[in-house]
Amino acid sequence: MKGSNHNFYFDTFQSPLGTLYMLFSGNVLSEISFEPFNHPCPKGKAPESFIKQLKGYFNGKLREFNHPVVFLKGTDFEKKVWLSIRKIPYGETRTYKWVAEKTGRPSASRAAGQALGRNPIPIVIPCHRVIASDGSLCGYSEGIDIKRRLLDLEYYASQSNI
């Protein structure tokens, strides 16, 4: 694992979508997965402040995560894509074309989609908010059903607070 001076550990969180596996470097979040990690690191305890944010998100109360994250992998373009989607407001969607434009590469919609598929921190980095230009839900590394459920959660939570 990159950065041997880091104190890596993982923890789990029982979400309405299933178990989330979270990897931390110190107290900084570096990965979320719906599958167990292959990383050789010990189980630890996620920062309580982050667990509180996850609970708030799944309860429809939290609109934006502010827990620190670090990308331990990814190209400069991928990181630019991941950072750009943090600007998509809760309960809203944008297109792959929008993401490509935000990265300064307006003709790179397909590359933006591939970068989103490699997002190491889904939910917190809300790649589920990116849809096709025709409004269809295409592509999500955790599956279209999970994407739909995240979008529905955000949509209905934002409607109930109007």
Maximum separation of any 2 CA atoms in the chain, in Å:
47
Burial class (CB in 10 A: 0-12, 13-18, 19+), 64: exposed
**Residue 69, helix vs strand vs coil:** strand
Q: Are 23 and 10 in contact (CB under 8 A)?
A: yes
Is 41 a residue of the active site? no
User: DSSP letter at 63?
Assistant: -
Q: Which of 32, 127, 131, 157 is catalytic?
A: 127
Catalytic residues: 127
